[in-house]
């Protein structure tokens, strides 16, 4: 019988699931993702994680708990770096320990380290380690799995670059065409943008109002890298780079009508990148811009009020005052 490998639907799930799902399936494992986030999953995550963890880490704990009695092994990789010369948030590196010591009754974890800081080829070594830890030792099969995973990842990225959101691509829901009256940049980490419970159905709400979105994942990474080259210091945090590079691109794009940033309370990367984006937007951006900061206590009512205010800004600007900044005068002196 095939070994069942659980994959919690959190953190970088919406970035790398097609890749890892294809790899493990090609090896002969049965892949079991946790379901979409629910209140129960979030509550368990809050219960089993430390108080000052950021919301996405708490949600991840809840998904690990959900899978604990359904699988033989659980994949919680130690992500140190996913791009040459760049690190990601240290919380990704600490996830295996956080999960192991906080969530009860877990099956054995697969906690292979992925560290591409020096060389992208380290990924192949890490995948071999992962396969060996699952007792798959045939190199021909492992190589075949790696090639299939690379292909699946290219197809996934191509579909997302066409404007499909990763959650729809993963669920194989065909892209629906919407009647759009505006297009905005929606900035944030993938685990905030595509988790419809965590963001209270934000993308659906936008589309119902005829607002099309462009997210960092939909942009060619070269565009993001190029925009970050304009910064006075090199950005060596992958997630901060994605946020800042895409925000700078969106702010310069005359066909995009506004920008909404969704950030997590307690996130170090967001407090740095969000502050930078907000300052740039207030100084130079002449279109509607709003930051929505969320945590596990954020209520639907308050969230909806803020989104409605953003919709009003977009409508008001489109019909009345295209020459005025919609967010008021800058309060920053430099
Ligand atoms: S980047 Fe922010 S939201 Fe993401 S894991 Fe790190 S602290 Fe949490």
pLDDT per residue as tens digits for the range 103-162? 999 999 999 999 999 998 899 999 999 999 999 999 999 999 999 999 999 999 999 999
To 10 degrees, what angle do helices 39-48 and 55-67 make? Answer: 100
Can you tell me which residue has the tokens 């963001």? 199
C-alpha 157 to ligand 1 mean position (Å): 22
Give the residue whose CA is nearest to atom 3 of ligand 1: 267
Three-state DSSP at 29 gives coil
Query: Are 111 and 78 a contacting pair, CB within 8 Å?
Result: yes
Instruction: Kindly report the backbone phi and psi dihedral angles of residue 262, in degrees, each rounded to the nearest multiple of 5, phi listed first.
Output: -115, 125
Query: Are 32 and 4 a contacting pair, CB within 8 Å?
Result: yes
pLDDT score for 172: 86
The residues spanned by each domain of the chain are 4-161, 177-319
Query: Are 8 and 77 a contacting pair, CB within 8 Å?
Result: no
User: Residues of the chain whose pLDDT is less than 70?
Assistant: 175-178, 321-334
State the virtual CA torsion across 185, 187, 192, 198 in degrees, nearest 10. Answer: -50
pLDDT score for 327: 54
Query: In a 10 Å sphere around its CB, with 0-12 CB exposed, 13-18 middle and 19+ buried, how is residue 209 labelled?
Result: middle
The answer to whether 4-161 and 177-319 have equal CATH topology is yes
| Length of the chain in terms of residues written | 334
Per residue in 151-180, is it b (16+ CB within 10 Å) or e — as a string?
Answer: ebbeebbebbeeebbbbbbbeeeeeeeeee
Name every protein residue with a CB atom under 6 angstroms from any ligand 1 atom: 54, 56-57, 89, 91, 189, 239, 264, 267-270
Give the residue whose CA is nearest to atom 6 of ligand 1: 89
Instruction: Annotate 33-62 with DSSP letters as a single string.
Output: E--S--HHHHHHHHHHS-TTS-HHHHHHHH
The residue among 37, 99, 49 whose CA lies nearest residue 74 is 99
Give CA separation, 27 vs 16, 112, 132, 194, in Å.
Answer: 17, 16, 11, 28
The CATH number of domain 177-319, selected from 3.30.70.150, 3.90.340.10, 3.40.50.11900, 3.30.43.10: 3.40.50.11900
pLDDT score for 283: 86
pLDDT in tens, 270-286: 998 988 998 898 888 88
pLDDT score for 334: 43
Contacts of 68 (CB under 8 A, 6+ apart): 6, 74, 103, 104, 105, 106, 107
DSSP state of 106: P
Give the residue whose CA is nearest to atom 2 of ligand 1: 267
Query: Are 288 and 317 a contacting pair, CB within 8 Å?
Result: yes
Give the C-alpha separation, 251 to 276, whole Å.
Answer: 13
Closest ligand 1 atom to Cα of 239 = 1
C-alpha 284 to ligand 1 mean position (Å): 27
Three-state DSSP at 329 gives coil
Give CA separation, 116 vs 15, 85, 93, in Å.
Answer: 16, 8, 13
C-alpha 307 to ligand 1 mean position (Å): 23
The answer to whether domain 4-161 has CATH 3.40.50 is yes
Closest ligand 1 atom to Cα of 192 = 3
Instruction: Annotate 165-208 with DSSP letters as a single string.
Output: -HHHHHTTPPPPP---SEEEEEES-HHHHS-TTTTTTHHHHHHH
Give the C-alpha separation, 220 to 249, whole Å.
Answer: 11
Closest ligand 1 atom to Cα of 90 = 6
């Amino acid at each position: 019988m095939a070994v069942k490998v659980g994959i919690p639907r959190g953190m970088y799930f919406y970035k790398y699931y097609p890749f890892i799902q294809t790899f493990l399936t090609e090896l002969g494992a049965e892949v079991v993702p946790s379901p979409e986030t629910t209140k129960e999953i979030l509550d368990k995550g809050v219960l089993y994680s430390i108080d000052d963890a950021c919301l996405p880490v708490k949600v991840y704990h809840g998904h690990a708990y959900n899978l604990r009695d359904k699988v033989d092994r659980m994949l919680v990789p130690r992500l140190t770096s996913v791009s040459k010369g760049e690190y990601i948030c240290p919380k990704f590196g600490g996830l295996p320990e956080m999960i192991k010591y906080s969530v009860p009754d877990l099956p054995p974890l697969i906690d292979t380290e992925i560290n591409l800081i020096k060389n992208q080829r380290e990924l192949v070594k890490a995948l071999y380690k992962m396969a060996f830890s699952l007792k798959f030792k045939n190199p021909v099969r492992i190589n075949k799995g790696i090639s299939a995973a690379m292909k699946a990842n290219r197809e996934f990225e191509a579909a997302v670059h066409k404007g499909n959101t990763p959650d729809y691509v993963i669920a194989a829901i065909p892209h629906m065409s919407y009647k759009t009256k505006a297009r905005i940049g929606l900035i944030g980490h993938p685990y905030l943008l595509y988790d419809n419970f965590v963001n209270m159905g934000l993308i659906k709400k936008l589309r119902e109002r005829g607002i099309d979105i462009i997210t960092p994942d939909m942009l060619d990474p070269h565009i993001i890298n190029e925009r970050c080259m304009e910064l006075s210091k090199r950005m060596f945090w992958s997630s901060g780079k994605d946020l800042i590079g895409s925000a700078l691109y969106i702010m310069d794009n005359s066909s995009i009508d506004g920008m909404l940033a969704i950030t997590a309370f307690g996130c170090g990367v967001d407090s740095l990148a969000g502050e930078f984006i907000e300052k740039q937007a207030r100084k130079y951006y002449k279109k509607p811009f709003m930051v929505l900061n969320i945590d596990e206590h954020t209520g639907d009512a308050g969230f909806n009020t803020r989104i409605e205010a953003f919709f009003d800004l977009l409508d008001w600007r489109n019909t009345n005052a295209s020459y005025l900044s919609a967010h008021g005068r800058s309060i920053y002196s430099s």
